[in-house]
Chain A
Amino acid sequence: MKKRLVVLGAGTAGTMVVNRLRPLLPAQDWDITVVDRDDEHRYQPGYLFLPFGTYTEKQVTRPRHTVLADGVDFMIGDVDVIHPETNVVALMDGRVLTYEYLVIASGTSPRPDQTPGMLGEQWRRSIFDFYTYDGAVALREALKGFDHGRLVVHITDMPIKCPVAPLEFTFLAEAWLREHGLRDRVELVFVTPLPGAFTKPIASARLGSMLEERKIVLEADFLLEHIDAETKTLVSYDEREVPFDLLVTVPLNMGADFVARSGLGDELNYVPVDKHTLLSTAHDTIFAVGDACDIPASKAGSVAHFSVEIFADNFLQHIAGQPMTGSFDGHTNCFIESGDHKGLLIDFNYDTEPLPGKFPLPVIGPMDLLKETRANHLGKLAFRWIYWNVLLPGRPMPLPSHMSMLGKSTDDLSKNEE
Chain B
Amino acid sequence: MPVTTIDGHQITVDTEGFMTDYAEWDEPLGASLAAQIGIALSDQHWEAIRFLRKDFAVKGETPTLRRVSVVGAIPTKTLFQLFPQKPAKKMAYIAGLPKPHGCV
Chain A positions near chain B (C-beta within 8 angstroms)? 157-159, 163, 193-195, 199-200, 221, 223, 225, 237-238, 266-268, 296-298, 417
Complex: A44 Cα to B71 Cα, angstroms: 31
Q: Give Cα A135 to B71, complex, Å.
A: 31
How many interface contacts (CB-CB < 8 Å) are there between A and B?
A: 43
Inter-chain contacts of A221 with B (CB < 8 A): 85-86
B77 to chain A, nearest CB (A): 6
Given contacts A267-B66, A267-B70, A268-B66, contact A163 B80 (CB under 8 A): no
Instruction: Write the nearest CB–CB distance from B56 to chain A, whole angstroms.
Output: 14
Q: For this complex, into which size category does the number of interface residues on chain B fall?
A: 10 to 19
Tell me the nearest residue of chain B to A194, going by C-beta.
B103
Query: Are the C-beta atoms of A238 and B103 separated by less than 8 Å?
Result: no
13 A-B pairs besides A158-B64, A221-B85, A237-B79 with CB distance below 8 A are A158-B104, A159-B103, A223-B76, A225-B77, A237-B76, A237-B77, A238-B80, A238-B85, A267-B66, A268-B66, A296-B61, A298-B104, A417-B15
Which residues of B (30-81) have their CB < 8 Å from a CB of A? 61, 64-67, 70-71, 76-77, 79-80
Minimum distance in angstroms from B84 CB to a CB of chain A: 7
Are B80 and A237 in contact (CB-based, < 8 A)? yes
Q: In the complex where A199-B104, A237-B76 touch, is A266 in contact with B85 (Cβ < 8 A)?
A: no
**Contact call A296/B76, Cβ cutoff below 8 A:** no
With A238-B85, A267-B71, A417-B15 as known contacts, state yes or no: A225 contacts B76, CB within 8 Å: yes
In the complex, are the beta carbons of A159 and B104 less than 8 A apart?
yes
Main DSSP-derived SS at the A contact region: loop
- Does B101 have its Cβ within 8 Å of any Cβ on chain A? yes
- Which of A158, A225, A237, A297 is close to B102, meaning CB atoms less than 8 Å apart? A158
**Interchain CB contact under 8 A, A157 and B66:** yes
Given contacts A199-B103, A223-B76, A237-B77, contact A267 B67 (CB under 8 A): yes
Shortest Cβ gap from B103 to chain A (Å): 4
Q: Which of A195, A268, A297 contacts B104 (CB 8 A)?
A: A297
22 contacts between A and B (CB under 8 A): A157-B66, A158-B102, A158-B104, A159-B102, A159-B103, A159-B104, A163-B104, A194-B103, A195-B86, A199-B101, A199-B103, A200-B104, A223-B65, A223-B76, A225-B76, A225-B77, A238-B80, A238-B84, A238-B85, A267-B67, A267-B70, A417-B15
Query: Of all chain B residues, which has the CB nearest A416?
Result: B15
> How far is A417 from B84 in the complex, measured between Cα atoms in Å?
28
Q: Which of B1-37 contact A (CB under 8 A)?
A: 15
Bound: A198/B77 CA distance, A: 24
